[in-house]
């Protein structure tokens, strides 16, 4: 167990931990959205050494918190009436309070380790990359190209490595793909097809099937209705798997069981109650595992023991 700071919160002595979340407050896996200033608890905490196990995961320090999201919040963990497992880099608890205190990376560049510099390049969108550019390692430049939406790629384009250009094509939503399209490699065009702002209609006829696959996987704004009849089964599979806006009601009767499986796994908007009686046990398993809105109390008596075991590891209770 690492040394943890303690504070009194809500008349309880608490450890201080950190929770890394995405910008929209989704967790690292993007399957649960948190609310600030809330208590959270779970049914059980696994005290084994397994990395992927059940319990509510928190980080010991701020820098590690940024490994799990763009925003890091201070958490209060009551010492009494709680359960703990203290791992090497993070720890699991049964209950904690997620505050609205958002932690900011403050640093003296000269005092930082290379690991800490890496994390700042990776997670701090306000990092002054122009000031430090000549001193940065290639790995740190890679991280800026991947994660910093404010990076001035036009200024540095000619000196960037192909790998760094690849990363900009994949991750930078502000990238001017029209300006550079003719000089991009096929691999880089593949990466642009992951970009939500890519004008796929303009380039559709010249795209490879692989590039169309990428659009079906990554572009939530893709007009699948327009192209549905010409899509491959693989591309339809990917839309069912990755697009939460997919109109499953419209296409349900023509979907394969595999495509229905993917909807049950990944679509939090799936109306499982409407289709419950016709779902396979495997599909019900997937809902228990992946759907944060599943009303497990309503169906508890008819669930299999396997499905109940799944829920023991997944349920997060908000009070």
**Full DSSP string of 6-40:** EEEETTEEEEEEEEEE-TTSB-TTSS-B--SSEEE
Domain boundary residue, one of 128, 162, 192: 192
Q: Where is the domain boundary, 103, 124, 150?
A: 103
Question: How many domains does one find in the chain?
Answer: 3
Residue 318 shares a structural domain with residue 222:
yes
Whether residue 157 is found in the same domain as residue 216: no
User: What angle do helix axes 209-218 and 233-242 make, rounded to 10 degrees?
Assistant: 20
Pick from 177, 204, 203, 174: nearest CA to 188 = 177
Task: Answer for the pair 46, 92: CB distance below 8 angstroms, yes or no.
Answer: yes
- My answer on whether 223 and 305 are in the same domain is yes
Per 3-state DSSP, the chain is made up of helix, strand and coil in percentages (nearest 5) of 45, 15, 35
Is there a single domain that holds both residue 53 and residue 30? yes
Beta bridge partners of 315: none
- In angstroms, rounded to a whole number, what is the distance separating the alpha carbons of residues 195 and 199? 9
pLDDT reported for residue 273: 94
pTM of the full structure:
0.58
What CA dihedral angle connects 143, 89, 54 and 277, to 10 degrees?
Answer: 0
Same domain, 213 and 312: yes
> What is the overall mean pLDDT for the chain?
89
Residue that terminates a domain, selected from 157, 192, 227: 192
β-bridge partners, 317? 41
Give the pLDDT confidence score for residue 194 in this predicted structure. 83
Using CA atoms, how far apart are residues 46 and 37, in angstroms rounded to an integer?
25
Give the pLDDT of residue 314.
66
Which stretches of the chain drop beneath a pLDDT of 70? 1, 50-52, 105-106, 314-319
Residues 181, 199 contacting (CB under 8 angstroms): no
Q: Does any domain span residue 202? A: no
Q: Domain of 35?
A: 6-103
The predicted structure's pLDDT at residue 315? 60
Distance CA 24, CA 127 (A): 21
Cα angle at 315 between 239 and 272, to 5 degrees?
Answer: 40
Tokens of 91: 């720890």
- Are residues 47 and 125 located together in one domain of the fold? no
135 plus 51 within the same structural domain: no
Q: Is residue 233 part of a domain?
A: yes
Question: Can you give the C-alpha Rg of the chain in angstroms?
Answer: 23
């Amino acid at each position: 167990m690492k040394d943890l700071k303690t504070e009194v919160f809500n008349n309880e002595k608490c450890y201080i931990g950190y929770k890394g979340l995405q910008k929209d407050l989704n967790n690292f896996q993007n399957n649960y959205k948190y609310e600030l200033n809330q208590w959270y608890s779970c049914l059980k905490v696994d005290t084994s050494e397994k990395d992927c196990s059940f319990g509510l995961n928190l980080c010991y320090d701020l820098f590690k918190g940024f490994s799990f999201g763009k925003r890091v919040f201070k958490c209060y963990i009551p010492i009494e009436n709680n359960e703990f497992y203290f791992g090497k880099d993070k720890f699991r608890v049964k209950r904690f309070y997620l505050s609205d205190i958002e932690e900011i990376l403050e640093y003296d560049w000269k005092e930082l380790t290379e690991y800490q510099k890496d994390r700042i390049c990776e997670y701090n969108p306000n990092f002054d990359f122009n000031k430090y550019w000549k001193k940065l390692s290639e790995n740190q430049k890679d991280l800026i190209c991947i994660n910093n939406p404010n990076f001035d790629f036009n200024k540095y384009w000619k000196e960037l490595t192909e790998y760094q250009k690849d990363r900009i094509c994949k991750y930078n939503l502000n990238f001017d793909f029209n300006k550079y399209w003719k000089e991009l490699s096929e691999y880089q065009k593949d990466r642009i097809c992951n970009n939500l702002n890519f004008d796929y209609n303009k380039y559709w006829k010249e795209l490879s099937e692989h590039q169309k696959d990428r659009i079906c996987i990554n572009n939530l704004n893709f007009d699948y209705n327009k192209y549905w009849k010409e899509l491959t089964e693989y591309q339809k599979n990917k839309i069912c798997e990755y697009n939460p806006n997919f109109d499953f009601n419209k296409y349900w009767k023509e979907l394969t069981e595999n495509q229905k499986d993917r909807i049950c796994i990944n679509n939090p908007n799936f109306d499982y109650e409407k289709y419950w009686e016709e779902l396979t046990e495997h599909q019900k398993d997937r809902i228990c595992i992946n759907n944060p809105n599943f009303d497990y109390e309503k169906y508890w008596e008819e669930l299999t023991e396997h499905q109940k075991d799944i829920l023991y590891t997944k349920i997060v209770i908000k009070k």
